[in-house]
């Protein structure tokens, strides 16, 4: 396995499971020390322990991305590992069926919570990591948006549309600090959770919207992250890469 990230530190929010855990496994396999941050501290540590058992460098920490003080502590702790932070993946987000309902059903409190996590959490984590990323060679931030951002029709999609917008804003503002900022919009990715929980009729309906006939897999999102955080993407910033099998294609 390539060891292209040796000496690098990567902080991944929502790192205890799903995409976040997969990102950590992939970056650790390339030599990075990954810091997995999750509201569920034991789950974050369990994921980190798996990486360590495979020979990688990993730390699991408990933290809610809406907690400004805790995120500042975590970023300082992560930076102390190897002198700074090289990669930040803003992956934590609310996306359950509970937060996919119409706004009129969710009500103000749940909509506010949705945006606090998916939007303001991203802003808070980025600002907390910034002092430790400035001037780092190859420093990169990847935000996780969603295909729902490009199709409209839900508060969840609107929160992820804000992520795409913030990606452009931060790319512009952080460019003088030599930090690239990009986003990934996943489409229907058949993770174990999605396979188990999403009704077959829904999976079939969404897949029918794709141009590609293949199933979206977790490795498609991981591969996109590895590219965007690599030197191969050094001239790419402010972009949202749609990994949707063509489902969310647009100009």
CA distance 84 to 32: 12
Tokens read off for 191: 């993770």
How confident is the prediction for the chain on average, in pLDDT?
94
* Predicted local distance difference test score (pLDDT) of residue 198: 80
Respond yes or no: is residue 156 known to be catalytic.
Answer: yes
- Whether 1 shows a pLDDT value over 60: the answer reads no
Q: Which of 156, 163, 216, 237 is catalytic?
A: 156
Where along the chain do its domains lie? 9-189+221-234
CA distance 37 to 40: 8
Digit-coded pLDDT (tens) for 200-248: 888 888 889 889 989 899 999 999 999 999 999 999 999 999 999 998 8
The torsion angles phi and psi of 247, rounded to 5 degrees, stand at -60, -40
* Predicted local distance difference test score (pLDDT) of residue 73: 98
Which stretches of the chain are DSSP H helices? 18-29, 41-53, 68-82, 103-115, 121-133, 148-151, 155-174, 192-197, 200-207, 218-228
Digit-coded pLDDT (tens) for 90-118: 999 998 778 889 999 999 999 999 999 99
pTM surpassing 0.75?
yes
* Predicted local distance difference test score (pLDDT) of residue 2: 61
Architecture of domain 9-189+221-234 in this structure: 3-Layer(aba) Sandwich (3.40)
């Amino acid at each position: 396995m390539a060891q292209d990230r040796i000496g690098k530190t990567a902080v991944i929010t929502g790192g205890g499971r799903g995409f976040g855990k997969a990102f950590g496994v992939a970056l650790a396999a390339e030599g990075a020390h990954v810091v997995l941050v999750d509201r569920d501290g034991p789950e974050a540590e369990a994921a980190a322990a798996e990486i360590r058992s495979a020979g990688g460098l990993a730390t699991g920490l408990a933290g809610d991305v809406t907690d400004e003080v805790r995120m500042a502590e975590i970023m300082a702790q992560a930076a102390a590992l190897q002198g700074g932070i090289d990669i930040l993946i803003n992956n934590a987000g609310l996306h359950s069926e509970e937060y996919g309902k119409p706004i009129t059903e969710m009500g103000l409190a749940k909509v506010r919570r949705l945006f606090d996590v998916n939007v303001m959490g991203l802003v808070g984590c980025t600002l907390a990591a910034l002092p430790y990323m400035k001037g780092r060679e190859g420093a990169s931030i990847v935000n996780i948006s969603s295909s729902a951002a490009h199709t409209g029709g839900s508060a969840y999609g609107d929160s992820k549309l804000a992520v795409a917008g913030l990606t452009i804003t931060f790319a512009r503002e952080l460019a003088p600090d030599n930090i690239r900022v990009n986003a990934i919009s996943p489409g229907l990715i058949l993770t174990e959770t999605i396979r188990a929980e999403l009704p077959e009729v829904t999976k079939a309906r969404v897949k029918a919207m794709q141009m590609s006939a293949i199933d979206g897999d977790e490795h498609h999102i991981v591969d996109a992250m590895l590219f965007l955080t690599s030197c191969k993407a050094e001239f790419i910033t402010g972009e949202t890469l749609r990994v949707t099998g063509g489902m969310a294609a647009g100009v």
